[in-house]
A = this chain, B = another copy of it.
């Protein structure tokens, strides 16, 4: 049951270890790339193990909030290790890096799903309340019961909005429960134990490629930045910077189901921006760019709104729903697609600043 990990022997203990030059002993004028990269990877691996311990403690009866925090920290370090393996692949044992990355992606992907479903439900219920002109505060409290609550209990929601909220909650609670089970199953699997073992090795011993200690991180970090710049250059930024361009909803009623093909290049930029941003976390790669964080936030909002819009559209295909429910889901879909457009505008504004 360890599809990705089974074929990958933990090879690096047997490998000659190039990281032998102590930090202070780097010849003057040389970029101690291997050192910086190794220190970063060791720190992230240590963080991963710490989060894993916290997750197991919280999993045994302690608070759900602690477990969520631990899960977030686990995903956070898994993403960073994976990104470093990708960007600085040539400075590392390439076979090791290539076998490790899909395993880390599987860990962060599997663990992220439960949170994503929960956040999607929150986003959609919040939007339903906003669109109903009602106070957003009691969203979760009010509609958390599962069954459609009476209209009075739902504040000033219309019947359609209340039914749409109940439908979305049924769908996304089910999806979240499934994601939770899948995450628990993953955490107990042999595949995950193999990943954890390899991360534990990484925490003490980074498999650098021969010569990595004297190579520079700069060119590889710059290459990541170039890939980002290339992907940004094909985005329709002139249109995105023109407010209310009405582009995000162009396929709002298209017979072609979600996801929208127009979102693809933006999602791609989001991933490349993340790689670039993580590469900059390693010392001596390049000065920090203040645009990176708001740009990344805009693209995350873009992704979340796009997925929420798709969920509303999918929910509207539920057989035998009332027309009022379908109408509310249509309004909600369009609202989230406008959020997509707003996020593109925000990205353009940040990027051109």
Contact = CB atoms under 8 A, between A and B. Distances in A.
Interface of A: 128, 130-133, 156-158, 160-161, 243-244, 246, 249-256, 316, 321-335, 338-339, 341-342, 345-346
Contacts of A325: 323, 326
Interface-central residue, A255, A321, A324, A328, by most chain B CB under 10 Å = A255
Given A244-B342, A249-B335, A253-B158, A329 B330 contact: yes
A26 B158 CA distance: 66
A253 B131 contact: yes
Given A156-B255, A243-B342, A342-B244, A249 B326 contact: no
A285 B246 CA distance: 40
B338 A246 contact: yes
A54 B326 CA distance: 48
Contacts of A333: 327, 330-331, 334
Given A316-B323, A323-B321, A326-B324, A252 B156 contact: no
29 contacts: A130-B246, A131-B249, A131-B250, A131-B251, A131-B254, A132-B254, A132-B255, A133-B250, A133-B254, A158-B254, A158-B255, A161-B253, A244-B338, A244-B341, A244-B342, A246-B335, A246-B342, A252-B335, A253-B328, A253-B331, A316-B323, A324-B326, A326-B326, A327-B330, A330-B333, A331-B333, A333-B334, A334-B334, A338-B338
A252 B321 contact: no
Contacts of A332: 330
Contacts of A345: 243-244
Contact of A253 (B132, B244, B249, B316): B132
Contacts of A132: 251-255
A107 to B, nearest CB: 35
A334 B323 contact: no
A249 B323 contact: no
A253 B329 contact: no
Nearest to A318: B323
Nearest to A319: B323
